[in-house]
Amino acid sequence: MVQTHPRKLLVVISEAVIERQLVADARSLGALGYTVVDVRGGGVHGDHDGEWDVDRSIELQLVCTAEVADRIAEHVLQRYARHYRVTLYLSDVGVFRAERF
């Protein structure tokens, strides 16, 4: 069996308008890479179908060490959560090439 290495998957779902800022912040806080996906959905803030630019949402996926995930999550909650729709969740993952994360 191929060896895996423990990492965290931090997912940030937010308004698309702050995508560039989120990515820049994540990189400066230690993320080595990221994936961004356009998403639609609904929740406590209502339904967001993304038909209008101001209604678009993105999902920022970061695979990183636990320390980096904690730094990024704390920063996002402090800087953005009060002013934007932001959802975060964290999962345990195993990666095959540890040096990339």
Over range 36-56, report the average pLDDT.
70
**In the 8-state DSSP scheme, what is residue 4?**
-
pLDDT of residue 52 exceeding 80, the answer is no
The 10s digit of each residue's pLDDT in 66-80 is 999 999 999 999 999
pLDDT at 46: 61
Mean pLDDT of 47-74: 85
Residue 17 has a pLDDT of: 95
Say which CATH architecture domain 6-87 belongs to: 2-Layer Sandwich (3.30)
> Mean of the pLDDT values across residues 28-40?
96
- Whether 45 shows a pLDDT value over 70: the answer reads no
